[in-house]
C-alpha cells in the first residue's frame, strides 16, 4: 500500500536551509505570496507562513481554502489573541526537533476546535467519570472543562459510584477545591451533552448509551457511537492527552490545574515508571514548573484512618505466593481502594512478576486488581480474556482490574464462599500465566 506523500506549502521569504530540511521529509511547494498560495491544488500537511506575509485576513483566507491544514508563522511574535489553528514559532525552533512538536500541537488544535463544536450548543453538560474516580480521571475532567471554557454551573463533573474514600483522592479534591457530584442513573437524563473522560461507554453497560465525547487512554472497549472520540492507548494517562489539548489550544494552565494534571500523570504511571511513553514524559516536564509541589506533597501524604490501616495489615497477613505469583485475599472490604493498594504492594516483593489482589466490596461485587512488571504479557489483555464475559474487565500492560457481581461469581463457580472464590481466582491466574510462559518457550 502506497503511503500518502507529505506536502508542505511555504509562503514568503525562506532560507534555503529550511526548505532543504523539509524537502527531505516530503514535497515542498514554495510561493512568494498568499495570493499564489490560494491558487495551489491538492492537500498540504502544513502551511509555513513568513511573518511579513501574515495578517488576520490572510490566515482566515488560508484556513477557508485549506480547512484541515494547520498554519505555522515563522519567527513571528504571537498576538494577544491568535487565530485558531495558527501557531507562532521562533526560527531556531523550526530548524530543530521542536518543529515536530509544533506540527503535532497544530494538528491537535484542529481536533480541539472539533471538540468545542460538539459541545458548543449545550446548556447543561455532564463530564462523567468512572464509578471510582482516581486522580487521572478527576484532573482530566477539570482540564476538559477548562478547554471548553466552561465553569461549575455549565459543566458538572460527576460519577455514579459511592462516595470517594481513598485518602489521597479525598485530599486532592479538598486541597484543589474540586467539586464532584455523586449522581444517580436518573440524573444522567437531565443533561443535554455528555462527555466521558478516562472511561468508555461499555463500562456502564446500558446505563449510558449515548454520549457526545469520549477521551481515554485505555484500549478500545467494544463498539459505541460518539460524535468525538480520542482513544490513545499508547499514553500512560488521560491527563497526558488533555495536557496536549490545552497546549495546542494555547490555553493558560493555572497552578491548580497544572498540579492536578501532574498528579494524574504521576499516579497513573507510578512516577513515569509504568506504561509511560515520551508523551507522558513531555507533559510531565511541561507541567512541573507550573505545579504547586508543596500542595502535591500534602496530597500524597494523605493520612490513612487507623481502622483501614488495620484492614491493610490483616489482608497482608493473608497472602500466599504460588508459581511466582503474589496473591492476597482481602475478604470483605468497605473501601475498594485497598484492593489495588495491596496489588501495588505485592509487585514490589522480590522475585515477583505478577501480583493479584481481590476482595468483596459492599457485599455485592468481587474486585480483582492485577499488576505485573510491565515487560511481560499485558495484564489488561489477560484480565479481559478471563473475565470479559461475566463482568467489567480491562487495563494496561502492567495494571488491570476486573469487577464481577457476586451473583455472576456464584453462577460461574457454583458457590460464593471465600474459600471457593480464593481457589477459583488462584487456579484461573496460575493456568493463564503458566500457559503464556509455555507458549513463549
Residue 332 is inside which H or E element, if any? strand 325-333
Topology (CATH level 3) of domain 306-440: Diaminopimelate Epimerase; Chain A, domain 1 (3.10.310)
Q: Per-residue pLDDT averaged across 334-353, rounded? A: 88
Residue 333 has what DSSP assignment? E
Locate cell 490545552: which residue?
Answer: 246
Residue 362 has what DSSP assignment? T
**Where are the domains positioned within the chain?**
7-91, 118-300, 306-440
The 3-state DSSP class for residue 420 equals helix
Locate cell 475498594: which residue?
Answer: 336
Tell me the pLDDT of the chain averaged across its residues: 88
The pLDDT value recorded for residue 13 is 87
pLDDT digits (tens, 9 = 90+) for 179-234: 999 998 889 988 999 999 999 998 888 888 789 999 999 988 888 999 999 999 99
pLDDT digits (tens, 9 = 90+) for 344-360: 889 989 889 999 999 99
Could you tell me which of 290, 235, 295 has the C-alpha nearest to residue 257? 290
User: N- to C-terminal Cα distance for the chain?
Assistant: 34
CA angle 299, 327, 325 (to 5 degrees): 110
β-strand pairing of 181-182 with 155-159: parallel
In the structure, what pLDDT confidence band is assigned to residue 15 with cuts at 50, 70 and 90? Answer: confident
CA dihedral sign of residues 234, 238, 243, 244? positive
Our CA dihedral for 205, 206, 209, 213, rounded to 10 degrees, sits at -20
Copy the grid coordinates of residue 402.
Answer: 476486573
Q: Give the pTM.
A: 0.73
Locate cell 501480583: which residue?
Answer: 355
118-300 is a CATH 1.10.510.10 domain: no
pLDDT digits (tens, 9 = 90+) for 79-125: 777 787 788 887 666 666 677 788 888 899 999 999 999 999 999 99
Residue 203 has what DSSP assignment? G
pLDDT digits (tens, 9 = 90+) for 358-371: 999 888 899 999 99
Q: What is the CATH number of domain 7-91?
A: 3.40.50.2300
Amino acid at each position: 500500500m502506497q503511503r500518502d506523500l507529505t506536502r508542505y506549502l511555504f509562503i514568503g521569504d525562506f532560507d534555503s536551509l529550511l526548505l532543504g530540511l523539509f524537502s527531505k521529509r516530503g514535497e515542498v511547494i514554495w510561493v512568494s505570496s498568499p495570493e499564489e498560495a490560494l491558487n495551489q491544488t491538492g492537500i498540504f500537511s502544513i502551511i509555513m507562513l513568513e511573518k511579513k506575509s501574515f495578517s488576520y485576513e490572510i490566515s482566515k483566507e488560508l484556513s477557508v481554502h485549506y480547512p484541515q491544514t494547520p498554519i505555522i508563522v515563522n519567527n513571528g511574535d504571537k498576538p494577544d489573541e491568535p487565530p485558531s489553528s495558527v501557531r507562532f514559532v521562533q526560527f531556531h525552533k523550526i530548524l530543530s526537533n521542536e518543529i515536530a512538536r509544533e506540527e503535532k500541537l497544530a494538528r491537535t488544535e484542529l481536533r480541539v476546535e472539533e471538540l468545542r463544536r460538539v459541545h458548543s450548543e449545550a446548556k447543561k453538560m455532564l463530564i462523567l467519570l468512572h464509578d471510582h474516580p482516581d486522580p487521572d480521571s478527576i484532573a482530566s475532567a477539570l482540564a476538559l472543562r477548562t478547554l471548553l471554557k466552561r465553569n461549575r454551573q455549565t459543566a458538572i463533573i460527576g460519577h455514579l459510584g459511592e462516595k470517594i474514600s481513598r485518602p489521597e483522592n479525598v485530599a486532592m479534591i479538598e486541597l484543589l477545591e474540586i467539586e464532584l457530584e455523586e449522581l444517580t442513573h436518573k440524573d444522567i437524563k437531565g443533561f443535554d451533552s455528555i462527555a466521558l473522560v478516562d472511561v468508555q461507554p461499555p463500562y456502564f453497560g446500558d446505563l449510558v448509551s449515548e454520549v457526545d465525547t469520549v477521551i481515554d487512554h485505555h484500549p478500545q472497549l467494544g463498539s459505541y457511537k460518539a460524535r468525538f472520540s480520542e482513544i490513545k492507548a499508547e499514553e500512560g494517562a488521560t491527563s497526558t492527552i488533555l495536557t496536549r489539548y490545552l497546549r495546542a489550544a494555547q490555553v493558560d494552565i493555572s497552578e491548580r490545574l497544572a498540579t492536578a494534571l501532574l498528579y494524574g500523570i504521576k499516579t497513573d504511571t507510578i512516577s513515569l515508571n509504568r506504561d509511560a511513553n515520551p508523551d507522558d514524559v513531555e507533559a510531565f516536564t511541561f507541567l512541573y514548573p507550573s505545579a504547586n509541589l508543596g500542595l502535591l506533597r500534602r496530597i500524597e501524604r494523605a493520612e490513612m484512618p487507623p481502622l483501614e490501616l488495620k484492614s491493610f495489615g490483616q489482608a497482608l497477613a493473608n497472602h500466599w505466593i504460588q508459581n511466582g505469583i503474589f496473591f492476597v485475599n482481602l475478604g470483605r472490604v468497605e473501601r475498594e481502594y485497598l484492593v489495588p493498594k495491596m496489588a501495588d504492594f505485592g509487585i514490589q516483593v522480590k522475585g515477583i512478576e505478577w501480583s493479584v489482589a481481590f476482595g468483596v466490596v459492599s457485599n455485592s461485587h468481587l474486585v480483582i486488581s492485577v499488576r505485573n512488571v510491565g515487560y511481560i504479557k499485558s495484564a489488561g489483555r489477560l484480565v479481559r480474556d478471563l473475565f470479559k464475559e461475566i463482568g467489567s474487565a480491562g487495563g494496561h500492560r502492567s495494571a488491570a482490574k476486573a469487577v464481577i457481581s457476586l451473583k455472576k461469581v456464584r453462577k460461574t463457580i457454583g458457590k460464593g464462599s471465600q474459600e471457593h472464590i480464593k481457589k477459583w481466582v488462584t487456579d484461573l491466574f496460575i493456568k493463564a500465566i503458566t500457559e503464556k510462559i509455555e507458549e513463549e518457550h
